[in-house]
């Protein structure tokens, strides 16, 4: 174990000792992983771009167990890394050094579902796709969907405030999440698992943990408002200089089709759209969506990927792609721009045969400065994690960063929760 990685110095946390191992094995017997081969996939991120060297993975089943773990780690000053499905794209989900990985994989129980209100309460480790399947049988769906649905956990989604493919229709998790249960750094359990649509009693503490990327507490359960499963779904895939997917969902297929046809007639007549296809059956809808959902995976086959996730004024969205192409010329293999047009969210991906420091210097801070110039965000939906924390000032004033650091210091005075992530170190 080296004391420095990626130019970051290991903070003076304790090292896991034999007596720590004994404690954890007693607390959660058979659910403490120390075998290096078993640990390997949990130490590396989905993109295989950052790697930690944790020597211990814990798999609690209940909030009470998470509480005991954190109480102990806080006392012992052992750093921890909360982990869900490990699909995060900013290096937040894996340790930097030897932080203990606390996985939510075994916290995968649905607690309740109310088919009148559509409110689902479940443990944080439920896989998004499983929840959606569970709800579909009851004529409901999850209010969010993303390409990583088969692996990501609802707790990870909340911790990153994931956006995804349904945000335009159903809004962000800041609206659909009604309550959270969170274990704080000192082990206390914060039960804000309300299932109320309206609740103005004091500060809305759950919002602090939505998008906090495992730095303020470990989310152990989520209460979330789920929409009805739409009776009629249409998906159109349209092409001119760009390709766009538009999904409509409603309750009356004849009415929806009529509206859609009027729209298509209009865009074809105006010359805006030159080609396209409409899908109404499930199989074709899934096939077309998978073209969009698998772009991230496709890009990993194009070499080294420099990934940016930006919020921009929608009318400026593609200008950055054009400007970046012009700036990089042949030094990049591909400069790809796609994303969530309706949300003003551009995913700018630049590929090259191999990693090059000079290419990185040509991209950064250019991309961040370009974004700041239009008051955009340098992290629209993926978070800051390990990779983007030093660029927060492009999107947030100094006073806001300072206040965030103060909140972090208050909730986690020893800094054991996901250190080296999200916020730059306080000066
Ligand atoms: P992890 O990757 O395990 O963790 C992510 C962060 O959350 C880490 O900082 C971790 O410490 C923290 N964390 C995890 N669980 C908890 C918990 N219970 N309590 C506290 N902290 C926790 N994102 C989008 O916003 N929109 C998309 O459309 C989208 N598409 C994607 C498509 C693909 C193919 C991939 C690989 C990723 C995509 N993502 C997208 C990235 C997105 O952030 C994650 O997929 C997802 O939200 C993370 O969930 P996870 O369970 O994998 O969390
Ligand atoms: C998506 O919208 C994800 O597909 C991933 O947010 C984006 O890989 C990316 O750049
Ligand atoms: Zn996205």
| Binding site membership of 166 for ligand 2 (Cβ less than 6 Å) | no
Q: Mean per-residue pLDDT for 210-237?
A: 98
Measure 356 CA to ligand 1 centroid, in angstroms: 27
Measure 108 CA to ligand 3 centroid, in angstroms: 25
Rounded CA separation 347/362 (Å):
18
pLDDT at 1 over 60: no
Nearest to 77 by CA among 100, 55, 56: 100
Measure 303 CA to ligand 3 centroid, in angstroms: 20
Q: Could you report the predicted ipTM of this complex, rounded to two decimals?
A: 0.99
Ligand 1, atom 28, lies closest to the CA of 164
| Binding site membership of 143 for ligand 1 (Cβ less than 6 Å) | no
pLDDT at 2 over 80: no
Ligand 2, atom 8, lies closest to the CA of 296
pLDDT at 3 over 60: yes
Q: Which atom of ligand 1 is nearest to the CA of 383?
A: 43
Rounded CA separation 190/72 (Å):
17
Give the model's pLDDT for residue 39.
Answer: 98
Measure 310 CA to ligand 2 centroid, in angstroms: 11
Give the model's pLDDT for residue 426.
Answer: 83
Q: Which pLDDT tens digit goes with each residue over 272-283?
A: 999 999 999 999
Q: Which pLDDT tens digit goes with each residue over 72-111?
A: 999 999 999 999 999 999 999 999 999 999 999 999 999 9
Q: Which domains are present in the chain?
A: 4-105 (3.30.43.10), 110-225 (3.30.465.10), 232-284 (no CATH), 295-394 (3.30.70.2740)
Rounded CA separation 306/350 (Å):
5
Mean pLDDT of all residues in the chain?
Answer: 97
Q: Which pLDDT tens digit goes with each residue over 404-422?
A: 999 999 999 999 999 999 9
The pTM score is 0.98
Q: Which atom of ligand 2 is nearest to the CA of 307?
A: 10
Q: Which pLDDT tens digit goes with each residue over 10-40?
A: 999 999 999 999 999 999 999 999 999 999 9
Measure 347 CA to ligand 2 centroid, in angstroms: 6
Output the CA torsion 173→245→341→388 (10° steps).
60
Q: Which atom of ligand 1 is nearest to the CA of 209?
A: 20
128-157 b/e (C-beta count within 10 Å ≥ 16 → b): bbbbbebbeeeebbbbbbbbbbeebbbbbb
Give the single-character DSSP code of 424.
P
Ligand 1, atom 45, lies closest to the CA of 87
Q: Are the CB atoms for 363 and 320 separated by under 8 Å?
A: no
Measure 242 CA to ligand 1 centroid, in angstroms: 28
Nearest to 307 by CA among 335, 330, 268: 335
φ, ψ at 364 (rounded to 5°): -115, 135
Q: Are the CB atoms for 78 and 416 separated by under 8 Å?
A: yes
**CA dihedral over 33, 39, 45, 50, signed as positive or negative:** positive
Give the model's pLDDT for residue 256.
Answer: 94
Q: Are the CB atoms for 354 and 367 separated by under 8 Å?
A: no
pLDDT at 309 over 60: yes
Rounded CA separation 314/119 (Å):
33
Q: Mean per-residue pLDDT for 198-221?
A: 98
Q: Count of CB atoms within 10 A of residue 348's CB?
A: 24
Q: Which atom of ligand 1 is nearest to the CA of 82?
A: 11
Q: Are strands 100-103 and 80-83 parallel, antiparallel or unpaired?
A: parallel
| Binding site membership of 104 for ligand 1 (Cβ less than 6 Å) | yes
| Helices then strands, each counted (H, E), the chain | 15, 17
Give the model's pLDDT for residue 214.
Answer: 98
Q: Are strands 32-33 and 8-9 parallel, antiparallel or unpaired?
A: unpaired
Measure 338 CA to ligand 3 centroid, in angstroms: 9
pLDDT at 209 over 70: yes
Give the orientation angle of helix 366-373 with respect to helix 319-328, to 10 degrees: 150
| Binding site membership of 347 for ligand 2 (Cβ less than 6 Å) | yes
Q: What share of the chain in percent tops pLDDT 90?
A: 98
| Binding site membership of 91 for ligand 1 (Cβ less than 6 Å) | no
| Binding site membership of 160 for ligand 1 (Cβ less than 6 Å) | yes
**CA dihedral over 47, 107, 127, 162, signed as positive or negative:** negative
Q: Mean per-residue pLDDT for 284-303?
A: 97
End-to-end CA distance of the chain: 26
180: tokens are 């959270």
Q: What share of the chain in percent tops pLDDT 70?
A: 99
């Amino acid at each position: 174990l080296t004391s420095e990685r990626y130019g970051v110095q290991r903070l003076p946390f304790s090292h896991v000792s034999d007596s720590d191992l004994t404690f954890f094995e007693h607390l959660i017997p058979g659910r403490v992983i120390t075998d290096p081969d078993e640990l390997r996939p949990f130490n590396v991120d989905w993109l295989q771009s950052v790697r930690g060297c944790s020597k211990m993975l814990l798999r609690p089943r209940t909030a009470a167990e998470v509480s005991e773990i954190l109480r102990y780690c806080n006392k012992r000053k052992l750093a921890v890394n909360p982990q869900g499905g490990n699909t995060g794209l900013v290096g937040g989900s894996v340790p930097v050094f030897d932080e203990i990985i606390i996985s939510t994989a075994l916290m995968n129980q649905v607690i309740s579902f109310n088919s009148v209100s559509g409110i689902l309460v479940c443990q944080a480790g439920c896989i998004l796709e499983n929840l959606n399947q569970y709800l579909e049988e009851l004529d409901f769906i999850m209010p969010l969907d993303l390409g990583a649905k088969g692996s990501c956990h609802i707790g990870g989604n909340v911790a990153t405030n994931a956006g995804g493919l349904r945000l335009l229709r159903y809004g962000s998790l800041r609206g659909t999440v009604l309550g959270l249960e969170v274990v704080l750094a000192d082990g206390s359990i914060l039960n804000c698992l309300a299932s109320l649509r309206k609740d103005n009693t004091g500060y809305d503490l759950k919002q602090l943990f939505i998008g906090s990327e495992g730095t303020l507490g470990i989310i152990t359960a989520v209460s979330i408002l789920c929409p009805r499963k739409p009776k009629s779904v249409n998906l159109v895939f349209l092409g001119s200089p760009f390709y766009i997917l538009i999904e409509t969902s409603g309750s009356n297929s004849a009415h929806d089709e009529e509206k859609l046809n009027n729209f298509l007639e209009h865009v074809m007549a105006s010359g805006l759209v030159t080609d396209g296809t409409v899908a109404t059956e499930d199989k074709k809808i899934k096939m077309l969506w998978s073209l969009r959902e698998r772009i991230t995976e496709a890009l990993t086959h194009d070499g080294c990927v420099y990934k940016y996730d930006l919020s921009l004024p929608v009318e400026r969205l593609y200008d950055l792609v054009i400007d970046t192409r012009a700036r990089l010329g042949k030094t990049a293999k591909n400069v790809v721009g796609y994303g969530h047009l309706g949300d003003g969210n551009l995913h700018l991906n630049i590929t090259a045969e191999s990693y090059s420091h000079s290419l990185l210097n040509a991209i950064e801070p250019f991309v961040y400065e370009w974004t700041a110039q239009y008051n955009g965000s340098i992290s629209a939906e993926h978070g800051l994690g390990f990779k983007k924390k030093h660029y927060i000032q492009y999107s947030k004033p100094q006073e806001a960063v300072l206040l965030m650091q103060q909140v972090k210091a208050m909730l986690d005075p020893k800094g054991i929760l996901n250190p080296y992530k999200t916020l730059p170190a306080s000066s």
